[in-house]
Structure 1
Amino acid sequence: MKKRSWVAALATPLTLFTATLLASEKLYNFAFKRVDYVPETSADKQKYADAYWAYVNWLYRQPIQKWQLNLGDAENRLVAQYVPAKANSRKTVIISHGYKGDGETMANYAYMFHNMGYNVLLPDDRGHGKSAGKYISFGWQDRRDYLGWVDQVIKTVGKSAEIVLFGVSMGGATVEMMSGEELPPQVKAIIADCGYTSIEEELAYLLKRQFHLPKYPFVPIVSFINRHRMGYFLSDVSSVEQLRHNKLPIFFIHGEKDVYVPSWMLKKNYRATTAPKMMWQVPNATHAESFWIGPAAYEKHVSAFLNRYLDD
């Protein structure tokens, strides 16, 4: 083979490899790097905007307390908003928000639980809102951060506290991942709304659906980048594996028409745990729409589940 032909033959795969690496780096930054604003909701949810802002306005009329974790560590400092119940209560819900959201974006759920007599804690996850962090961990680091919030609730409310873990979308996956940790007896139940099975499966699914790209080689390269930046591979970030260790009662909620986190993920998560469990697929609801499509029905289902497992 002539030298020029050999160089040309080598250049083509090298160029392709370089382009794939650059595309994977861009994908990683797009998906995992923090943004210091809350993106607009999808067009199909704009119809709920007035109701959403009414809930936010309600939240900021409450006697909010600012809570923090890791105060002496600027790179790991975490912030949350705590809304005490109207009357003294042992019941507290810790609400985990969705991807690129923050505690404020969960004001509607805070209102619901507040009306049910709960203290409400609204953390900003690592890489979100007022909390520190360069990257989004999709629930994996957050599951341990939330153990700190659980401890702080117990210190504030007392050892007789009854704690519910509640989350939507990425927050749903976060509380599912928490289920596999060693939790104190004060944590009584978990409610996970439209949580994914694993970030690896979710990323591969969205790559195909939104960008028409295959899982290979992009997901493994992104996983390698995350291992370098965050210290773990994407395959580690699994709701399913954590749910296999779950011992707490858990209520799975999912929109029947969810195409962002597809319903097969709900079924896979549901099958993963042998603990007491319930599942509610909400007719006609898209991703994270189950509350908005019928707030009264949503509260009724949540109350019915929690009344089985909380003393009050």
Structure 2
Amino acid sequence: MLKKKGVKFGIGLLSILLIINIAASFYFYDLAIKRDVKEFLAGNKDLEVSAEAMDTFLNGDWRSWYRAQDFERWEIQSADGLKLQGYFLEAKKPTEKTVLFAHGYLGDGQDMGIYAEHYYEELGYNVLTVDLRGHEKSEGDYIGFGWHDRLDITQWIDTLVEQRGQETEIVLHGVSMGAATVLMASGEKLPDNVKAIIADSPFTSVYDLFEYQMNRMYNLPDFPLLPTTSLVTKMKAGYSFTEASALDQVKKAEAPILYIHGNDDVFVPTAMSKELYENTKSEAEFVTFDGANHSEAFVSHREDYEVELEEFLNKHMD
């Protein structure tokens, strides 16, 4: 009798824990994946950058520069029926070179204006910034962390070739989630028009990123919550955390890739870029900047960043 009671108690306890885990998984999905106002990153010390960098990001001259430009509004429809928005700026002088930007988590195309100004004013490129699915003016009720976005990027590439001609040369430049996005796109069958990829502060996979963040932000292990949340995400958004892997994709990459990361990045560990670099099939370079936190290097080490960027582009752009 006691043994049967013990079994019933054990089953009951497991059932309660399972219900709690499932409920927590739906909560975590809403917290991180569902398109919604996100407040959980507010005050996160891992995202703190220098006062100088913060002032540049929030109040830099690049913002007034971006607003002053006459961007053409482009729209495409994704393979799964979403209307996605892009913003194209033709170079001052005719050129075949275009940079396609991918922004970070909770950002939008305008956030890449700080980089766009350099490409446009100093390098003479055409510029295409886009709002990734689930962000700003693009449709989508979830954040794809680069996985479904990779296919959207390939459509933007095709659109550029259609609009600019078969001779167009394209650079993909992504930051943070946008960096993972362009790396995930790198494993797809891209046209020869894509000459170079710049990945600033990328993560290896969505699972790896969340595993790291759960431990750092909440002192929680990945199991069992993360696998269950991945199942919820597969059910609601159509992708799992393990399949959303930049690491798997760069193993198939053909286009040259420049990895950039701050050595003081505690939000997305620098080791993730190193692992990506070491597993990249195509020609690749890996540059780090001492003292730079997450996605901060372009501001905190701008001159050196520009040198590394331009040397890489000069090597691979015709």
TM over 0.5: yes
1:46: Cα distance to partner?
A: 5.1
How far does residue 72 in structure 1 lie from its aligned partner after superposition? 11
CA distance in 1, matches of 2:38, 2:26: 22
**Correspondence for 1:104 among 110, 114, 117:** 110
Rounded Cα–Cα distance in structure 2 between residues aligned with 1:47 and 1:8: 58
Partners of 2:255 and 2:6 lie apart in 1 by: 64
- Which of 115, 118, 126 is the matching residue for 2:133? 126
Q: CA RMSD in A?
A: 2.1
Give the C-alpha shift of residue 40 in structure 1. 6.5
Deviation at 1:50, TM superposition (A): 3.7
Deviation digits for residues 239-293 of structure 1 (CA, Å, limit 9, x no counterpart): 1111111111110101111111112111110011132111101111111011010
CA contact (8 A) 1:142 1:174 kept: yes
Question: Is the 2:53–2:296 contact (alpha carbons within 8 Å) kept by the matching residues of 1?
Answer: no
Residue ranges of structure 2 left out of the alignment (5+ in a row): none
Query: C-alpha distance in 2, partners of 1:31/1:191?
Result: 25
Q: Tell me, yes or no, if structure 1 residue 51 matches structure 2 residue 56.
A: yes
Amino acid corresponding to residue 109 of structure 1 in structure 2: Y
- Cα contact 2:25–2:229 (8 A) shared by 1: yes
User: Which whole-Å deviations, capped at 9, do the CAs of 1:35-91 have from their partners, x for residues lacking one?
Assistant: 368977944355434423321221010111101001998x50000111111211110
Q: Does 2:175 match 1:168?
A: yes
Q: Give secondary structure in 1 for the equivalent of 2:191.
A: coil
**Secondary structure at the residue paired with 1:60?**
helix
Map residues 207-286 of structure 1 onto 2, 5 A cutoff. Answer: 207-286=214-293
Q: Distance in 2 between matches of 1:279 and 1:178?
A: 19
Instruction: Show the counterpart of 1:195.
Output: 202
CA deviation after TM superposition for structure 1 residue 13, in Å: 2.5
Q: C-alpha distance in 2, partners of 1:236/1:209?
A: 23
Query: What is the distance in 2 between the residues matched to 1:107 and 1:171?
Result: 14
Provide the residue aligned with 1:28 in structure 2.
29
Identity in percent? 36
Distance in 1 separating the partners of 2:284 and 2:12: 56
Matched letter for residue 21 of structure 2: T
- Number of aligned residue pairs: 310
1:95 aligns with 2:101: yes
Task: Report the 3-state secondary structure (helix = DSSP H, G, I; strand = E; otherwise coil) of the residue aligned with 2:147.
Answer: coil
Relative distance call for 1:95 and 1:45 in structure 2 (3 A) is: farther
Deviates more, 1:33-42 or 1:193-202: 33-42
Cα separation, 2, equivalents of 1:251 and 1:239: 14
Residue identity opposite 1:91 in structure 2: K
Q: Distance in 2 between matches of 1:102 and 1:59?
A: 13
SS, match of residue 281 in structure 1 = strand
Question: In structure 2, what residue type is equivalent to 1:88?
Answer: P
1:71 to 1:275, Cα distance in 2 relative to 1, 3 A? closer
| Distance of 1:268 and 1:192 partners within structure 2 | 13
**Aligned twin of 1:177:** 184
CA contact (8 A) 2:145 2:206 kept: yes
User: SS of the residue aligned with 2:295?
Assistant: coil
TM-score normalised by L of structure 1 = 0.93
57 and 9 in structure 1: CA distance in 2 versus 1, 3 angstrom threshold: same
User: Structure 2: how far apart are the matches of 1:186 and 1:67?
Assistant: 20
Residue type of the alignment partner of 2:246 = S
- Say if 2:266 and 2:294, in contact at 8 Å, map to a contact too: yes
- 2:119 is aligned with 1:113: yes
Please identify, of 46-55 and 278-287, the stretch whose mean Cα deviation from structure 2 is larger: 46-55
